[in-house]
Structure formats: C-alpha cells, structure tokens
Amino acid sequence: MVEELDEEVHISVPTDERMTSVVRLATTAVASRTGLNLDQADDLNTALDELFRFSITQESKPASSVFRIHYNIHADCLEVVTEGIGVSFTDEASKVGRYCRFILEKMMDSVTDKPNPAGGLDVHIIKRISQG
C-alpha cells in the first residue's frame, strides 16, 4: 500500500544509450522532489539505468523505440513504471534478464511486472522514503 498520489511526472526518451544521462538527470530531480536521500536516489538511478540499458539490448527486443517512464510521487514513496521492456526480463533462461531483476529487487522495495497491451512488459518499482 502506498499513500495517496501527490504528483505525476512522465518522460519519454529514445531507446538510445546516449539518453542515459537524460534519464539520470530526470530521476535525480524527481527523487529530490520526493525527498529520497542520496543513497536512495542513487539506488533508484542504478535500477532505472539497468532497466533502460536492458530495454535497449538486443536480448530485450524492445517493443518500442521510445522508453517511457512514469514517476508517481507519494508522501511515503516514489513509484516508477517503465513501459514495454522485453519479456526476457521474466524469462528464467535469460541471464541478462535475471541479472536485471536481481539488481532491481536488491535496490528497490518492490518490483512487479505485467504485460503491456502494446507488447513487452511494464515494470512497476517502488522506493520508499526511509526516515532518519
């Protein structure tokens, strides 16, 4: 359970590795607005970095040439949804997919996925604001 939604931020970037810094900059800014500390913000950046890079690997077979990120800011957490990454994210036979999931599960408080109607998977992650 997360508290009521306060604000939403949405960005779309081309699935191009050179856009990594744009994702980082936006994520750091949103993390700051949410009140995450540097450790938490860096965890979130690392997790999204892995997801973004995973989405542009051949292995992932991206459903779209655009990587969409939805940041939902709550009072107690930051909820992030990424759209349409490759289904190999949940494929146990995929080392890269397992690796990406491992990093996300270690760094985030919650990681879930569901099929995107347009193809691929939507990955839903939550980073809670820790006190003190």
Partner 1 sequence: MPKRSQKKLAREELLSLFQTYNENKDPKVKEILVGSYMNLVHSLARRFANRGEPLDDLVQVASMGLLKAIDRFDSSRNVQFTTYAVPTIVGELRRYFRDRSSTIRLPRGLRERSHTLNMAIQNFSQEHGRSPNIAEIAAAVGITEEEVIEGLEGAEATNVASLDTTTDDGDLSLLDIIGGEDKTMRLLDERLSLAGAMSSLDSREQNLLYLRFIEGLSQTEIADRLDISQMHVSRLLRRTLKLLRQDLTSKEPYRS
Q: Given the rule CB under 8 A, which residues bind partner 1?
A: 21, 24-25, 28-29, 31-32, 35-43, 46, 49-50, 53, 57-59, 88, 93-96, 98-99, 102-103, 106, 132
Candidates 70, 107, 74; CA nearest to 1 is 74
Q: Which residue, 1 or 30, is less far from partner 1 as judged by CB? A: 30
Give the three-state DSSP class for 71: strand
Q: List residues bridging with 110 in a β-sheet.
A: 126
Give the shortest CB-55-to-partner 1 separation in angstroms.
13
Give the shortest CB-96-to-partner 1 separation in angstroms.
5
- Compute, in degrees rounded to 10, the torsion defined by CA atoms 49, 42, 124, 79: -140
Give the shortest CB-57-to-partner 1 separation in angstroms.
6
Q: Which residue, 70 or 98, is less far from partner 1 as judged by CB? A: 98
Gyration radius of the chain's alpha carbons? 14
Q: Which residue, 8 or 91, is less far from partner 1 as judged by CB? A: 91
- How far is residue 128's CA from residue 111's CA, in Å, rounded to a whole number? 12
